Structure 1
Amino acid sequence: MLEIMNYRSTVRSRDSGSLSLARCLTDEVESDESVMEGDSVSLNSDNEMEDDDVIQWRFKNTVIAEINKQADRITVYDDVLDGRFRDRLKLDDQTGSLTITNTTTEHAGVYELQINSEISERFRLIVFVELVSVTKGDSVSLNSDLTEMKDDDVIQWRFGDENTVIAEINKQADRITVYDDVLDGRFRDRLKLDKQTGSLTITNTTTEHAGDYELVMYSGRFSSKVFRVSVYDSVHCCGPTEAVIRLVLSALVGVATVIIVVYEIRSRRAERDQAHIHT
């Protein structure tokens, strides 16, 4: 049986798996970039390239693209990291900026731009998997898409710009932890974790729960996915798509009403003309 804990202390003790997971996510990053899964994103360099520069883009300590100005050569390493960047990378030979097309969650993480073997810039790329809308007071579930967690899996759910850990499952330690008192207790008694899949449910939502939720998973290697949650008041009972549908339906009803009124007027006028003719 998993041990389920509601953590209400400002001092936390964590096992080595959680510590390594936290350390992996605290690299110094100069800027954040975000993109919806399937779209393209550009990591723009602010540097001016010199004629003898060698520029490298690195992801997970692996060179994925390179410009050698002196040799007048651009190289994209398609097959590294299990080919996750194959046919997806474009380099600007003037600025050294990198564009990633058709992004997936496998492309989320920290990118380093090195110029002549010196780190110039770091970018943290966030890939949104899903935009989720919920009415204030209702519950919302964020699905991990895992069928079942493995025995050595560690996952964390993080919230907001500060990546505050709000819930965690450590299968190896056989423990589920919900950090109730973080962020002024806004999640107290509202979080439910599925011990099989790691999915997170937030109950009795308020506007304070709107924002970005990041699921960070360690299962042999690190991966993450991000959900953006919008919480609407009851007067805003629907998302943008449903709002457009309702607007269109209202317009159609209005047009139908006008047609009926015009038909009635013409019918009555025709009846009066017929009566006049008979008279």
Structure 2
Amino acid sequence: MFCAFISLYLLHFVDGAKIVSVMEGDSVTLHTDVRYKPYVQWRFGPEDTIIIIQFNGGGITYFKDDKRIRDRLQINNQTGDLTIRNTRTTDSGLYELTMKNWLLLFNVTVYARLPIPIITRDSSNCSSSSLSSQNCSLMCSAVNVSHVTLSWLKGISVLSSISVSDLSISLSLPLEVEYQDKNTYSCVLNNPISNRTTHLDISQFCQTSADRVHCCGFTEAVIRLVISAVVGVATVAIVVYDFTSRRGESTFAIYAN
């Protein structure tokens, strides 16, 4: 499936800082929004990796800079606006703009590209009782994600969801549907700036009732075979014992007469 990505970023204010959200790989421009700019200074990063960029009448001076980001920075010679090209998640943080005695803050968050959520058959819910039920167990998963929400949708209604913030982890969300269900289901992975969707084809994962015996895999099949064999041997032993006992009783009765 081909998906076209476009350069997109969101901007709003929180506690006096401009909150900027951008997708990894896209470009974002931090605007000074001031016409008269005889002197502009941009700062970013902790003290040990600080970047200080001075813009004064078209001249640009770099100071104690971090090369991981410097080669991707660009300042507009007319406005002093700062553009970050080919953004990375490590570019997230607080950017400070100083013009004379005026300070403007930009809190930038770079979100990683979202993977496509994967739908699989959930064999962990298989049991002898589930084999006779009319439900099909499914699982939707997303690997190594952060700042996202994973949801199951029935049409446009959210059935269930799970979220993760800072940590990069794997998410899984179960769903049970009937084998003959004709509703439209989809699994959606989203963050504040984008989303990825996988639509459920029930006929692909939930087939006829004869297919249910395979949902628990090889291990359960072996266990059931062993149990059947043990029960069979026990049954034969009981029959042989019963036959032997009856024959012994008959022989004893003959001798007794």
The TM tier, using the shorter chain, reads 0.3 to 0.5
Of Structure 1 and Structure 2, the greater helix share is in: 2
* Structure of greater relative contact order (alpha carbons < 8 Å, 6+ residues apart): 1
